C-alpha cells in the first residue's frame, strides 16, 4: 500500500488495510487531534449531541464548583501560559500584528458606534471601553435628547 502524509504532523505513514481513507498516523498526538476534530464536527452538525454535551459539562461544573479556580491556583505555570495564549487570541481578533498597538486597541462589537458629528437627539448604544477591556456583545440602549444652549 502507498505511503501517505499525516494531516497533523506531516510525517509519512502506511495506512492500515481496514481504513482505506486513513489521513492521520498512529502517533498519540495525531490520534488525539483526529478525535478532537471528529467531536467538533459532530457538535457542529448534530444539535442533540451538542445539547447533551453541554448538559453533561454543565452538570459536571455544578458537581465540582471552584475546580477551575483551584486548578489555576495549584498550577500557576498553566495559568500564565493561558494568559499569554489569550492575549495572542485577542490580538489576532483585533487583526493587528503590532504588539504595542494591540495592547492599546480595544476589542469591541463589530457594529460599535462611529463618531458622529454633530451629535443629534436619538437612540444610541452605550458600550464600556475602558483600557484593556474586552466588550461583550450586549450593549446598553440609551436615548439622548440634546438641549441647545443659547
**pLDDT over 70, % of the chain:** 65
Q: Are 131 and 101 in contact (CB under 8 A)?
A: no
Give the number of other Cβ atoms within 10 Å of residue 52's Cβ.
12
Q: pLDDT by residue (tens digit) across 27-56?
A: 999 999 999 999 999 999 999 999 999 999
Give the number of other Cβ atoms within 10 Å of residue 24's Cβ.
21
Overall pTM surpassing 0.85 (yes/no)? no
Give the pLDDT score at 139. Answer: 61
Mean pLDDT score across all residues of the chain: 80
Q: Is the pLDDT of residue 119 over 70?
A: no
What is the pLDDT confidence band of residue 102, given thresholds at 50, 70 and 90? Answer: very low
Amino acid at each position: 500500500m502507498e505511503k501517505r502524509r499525516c494531516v497533523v504532523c506531516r510525517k509519512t505513514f502506511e495506512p492500515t488495510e481496514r481504513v482505506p481513507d486513513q489521513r492521520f498516523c498512529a502517533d498519540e498526538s495525531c490520534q488525539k487531534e483526529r478525535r478532537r476534530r471528529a467531536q467538533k464536527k459532530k457538535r457542529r452538525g448534530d444539535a442533540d449531541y451538542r445539547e447533551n454535551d453541554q448538559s453533561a459539562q454543565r452538570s459536571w461544573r455544578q458537581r465540582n464548583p471552584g475546580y477551575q479556580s483551584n486548578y489555576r491556583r495549584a498550577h500557576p505555570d498553566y495559568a500564565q501560559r493561558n494568559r499569554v495564549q489569550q492575549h495572542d487570541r485577542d490580538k489576532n481578533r483585533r487583526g493587528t500584528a503590532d504588539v504595542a498597538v494591540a495592547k492599546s486597541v480595544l476589542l469591541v462589537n463589530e457594529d460599535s458606534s462611529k463618531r458622529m458629528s454633530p451629535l443629534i437627539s436619538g437612540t444610541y448604544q452605550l458600550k464600556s471601553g475602558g483600557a484593556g477591556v474586552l466588550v461583550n456583545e450586549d450593549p446598553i440602549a440609551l436615548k439622548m435628547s440634546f438641549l441647545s444652549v443659547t
